Amino acid sequence: MGAHVHNITFDCADARRLGQFWADLLGWNLFYDDDPEVLVAPTFPQQGTGLLFIPVPEGKTAKNRVHLDLGPEDATRDETVERATAAGATILADHRKPDGSGWVTLADPEGNEFCVERGVQERPSETRAIRIG
């Protein structure tokens, strides 16, 4: 018996503003109605995992225990970082290495951490993965 991840949910102050940031960054769509919740997904009806933004009265007080790692598909890591900062993200830590590996840790406009890894075209052509279990 299994399950799938339907949504990754963000508590936030301004669901539409934060949802729009993520929709722009991911190239996805923003969906909302009179409900204060906002959905960001590639399509509607939703197929696959989406991002759900729910307004809450309290602000963020600590580091995220879970965060998103973005792997750019049609841009480089640096182009994606530049697009994110232009849209309101802040660079928290730069872990890029001279050999092209590494990542950049950023915070979205409400302080939620996320990382940008190398883009698809920046990765070595041979990647090995071992499944355990």
What's the number of domains the chain is made of?
2
Same domain, 67 and 78: yes
3-state secondary structure of 30: strand
Same domain, 75 and 34: no
What CATH code is carried by the domain that includes residue 51?
3.10.180.10
22 lies in which domain range? Answer: 1-58
Same domain, 73 and 118: yes
Same domain, 68 and 132: yes
Q: What is the pLDDT along the chain (133 residues), one digit of tens a residue?
A: 789 899 999 999 999 999 999 999 999 999 999 889 999 999 988 889 999 999 999 988 888 889 999 999 999 999 999 999 999 999 999 999 999 899 999 999 999 999 999 998 898 876 556 667 6
Closest CA to 54 of 7, 117, 121: 7
Same domain, 100 and 84: yes
User: What's this model's pTM, rounded to 2 decimal places?
Assistant: 0.87
Give the DSSP letter string of 32-86: --SSS-EEEESSSS--S-EEEEEE-SSPP-S--SS-EEE--SSS-HHHHHHHHHH
- Taking the CA atoms of the chain, what radius of gyration do you get in angstroms? 16
Same domain, 124 and 77: yes
